[in-house]
Amino acid sequence: MITIDHLTKRYGAQVAVSDVSFSCQPGTVTGFLGPNGAGKSTTLRSLVGLATPTSGTATIAGRRYADLPNAGRQVGVLLDAGAQHAGRTGREVLSLSAMVLGVGPERVDEVLGRVGLAGRPAGKRLGNYSLGMRQRLGLATALLGDPQVLVLDEPANGLDPEGIFWMRGLLRGFADRGGTVLLSSHLLHEIEAVADQLVVISGGRIVAQGSKDELLAGKGTLVRGPDRALLDRALQAAGIAVSPGPEDALLADADALAVGQAVAAAGVVLTELRPAGGEGLEGLFRSLTGHAGAGQQVEEVLA
């Protein structure tokens, strides 16, 4: 189990994450989403001991990563697939990690086969690997110690469609066997396809979290009209709370009948009136963070 409890991280005067709290349960994949500089990478780095929280805690099975005995046997981590010596072969990289973790050479062969790098690819130097091959090797390294928890930052980056489908099955199978997966990705479609739980961060703070089904179901009524400001005033005058919706829409906190009656009474023209939801993860992301996904992708940098 992963537990982030009131985590705050400052770099001088800059607050990267502020009072962040969420948990990831065994048997689930949690999708961790946010726009550029939202604080995702800082949170993950704090969780695996690469950054020290200013306050709050980030624990795995109730302990800090640094306090876990032989942490690599309990937690598989992939934060940067390029962070390997380009002159070593894939097998050499895994063999060195296996010695550190105390696992046998047969496990190296097992994970190489599992990620599709057995045979000739295992003998190639990393300098000759494609980005997708590096990602597969990174996943192999994360899986090497047979951990119960996976912490992954952009694991599908560089994978082709077939590779993304393969990775989805790998993560789903890991969780279905009782593992815990925390997955950060800019590929919103893939998060939507594999995640059970969603955590959305924006500006260093959590703006939404819960089950995927619950968050994507939506609440209230989505409305559009030729005069957005007039529509907003009519709804608020009727006592209906209004918030910005996707693109030029408004999200009214009432059912469609109440919204329609209020608008009709005010004589305001509508071009769309329907229950909120049904726009998928990209629509949810856009409404929560104010960022549009280009081709269902949102870039991420270290916060």
Domain map (residue ranges) of the chain: 2-215, 219-276
3-state SS, residue 64: coil
Q: What is the mean pLDDT of residues 226-242?
A: 93
So what's the pLDDT on residue 94? 96
**CA atoms in the 13 A half-sphere facing the CB of 229:** 0
Q: For residue 186, what pLDDT band results from cuts at 50, 70 and 90?
A: confident
Looking at domain 219-276, its CATH class is alpha beta
Measured CA to CA, the distance from residue 277 to residue 74 in angstroms comes to: 38
Q: For 283-295, give one letter per residue: b (16+ CB within 10 A) or e.
A: bbbbbbbeeebee
What is the Cα Rg of the chain in Å? 22
pLDDT at residue 295, as a whole number: 36
The encoded tokens of residue 49 equal 């001991």
Minimum mean pLDDT range among 30-44, 132-146, 176-190, 265-279: 265-279
Structure tokens at 124: 């190639």
Q: Are domains 2-215 and 219-276 of this chain identical in fold?
A: no
227 closest CA partner among 194, 271, 262, 193: 271
Per-residue pLDDT at 137: 95
Retrieve residue 98's tokens. Answer: 């296996």
Instruction: Return the exposure string of 182-220: e unless at least 16 CB atoms fall within 10 Å of the residue's CB, then b.
Output: bbbbbbbbbbbbbbbbbbbbbbbebbbbeebeebbebeb
Residue 293 confidence (pLDDT): 44
Residue 158: how many other CB atoms lie within 10 Å:
18
- pLDDT band at 276, cuts 50/70/90? confident
Instruction: Work out the average pLDDT over 21-36.
Output: 95
d(CA 289, CA 299): 13
Q: Within a 10 A sphere around the Cβ of 237, how many other Cβ atoms?
A: 11
Going by C-alpha positions, the residue among 142, 127, 125, 119 that lies closest to residue 90 is 125
Q: Phi and psi dihedrals of 291, rounded to 5?
A: -110, 135
More confident residue, 287 or 6: 6
The residue type of 236 is Q
In which band, very low, low, confident or very high, does the pLDDT at 284 lie, cut at 50, 70 and 90? confident
Q: For position 36, what pLDDT does the model report?
A: 81
For range 252-260, the mean pLDDT: 90
d(CA 5, CA 43): 11
The residue among 160 and 59 whose pLDDT is bigger is 59
Tokens of 173: 């199978």
Q: What is the pLDDT of residue 299?
A: 35
Percent of all residues in the chain with a pLDDT value above 90, rounded to a whole number: 71
**Between these two residues, 70 and 288, which has the higher pLDDT value?**
70
Q: Cα–Cα distance between 117 and 102 in angstroms, integer?
A: 22
User: Can you give the pLDDT at residue 263?
Assistant: 93
User: What sign does the CA torsion over 81, 82, 85, 91 have?
Assistant: positive
pTM of the model: 0.79
What average pLDDT does the chain have?
89
Length of the chain: 303
Band (189; pLDDT cuts 50, 70, 90):
confident
pLDDT exceeds 70 at position 291 = no
Percent of all residues in the chain with a pLDDT value above 70, rounded to a whole number:
93
CA distance 89 to 92: 5
Spatial strand order of the sheet with 14-24 comes to: 14-24, 2-11, 55-60
**Per-residue pLDDT, 177:** 96
CB 192 within 8 Å of CB 213: no
pLDDT at 286 over 80: no
Q: Residue 300 pLDDT more than 70? A: no
| Of 35, 12, 15, nearest in space to 301 by CA | 35
**57-107 residue pLDDT tens:** 999 999 999 999 999 999 999 998 778 889 999 999 999 999 999 999 999
Topology of the domain covering 2-215: Rossmann fold (3.40.50)
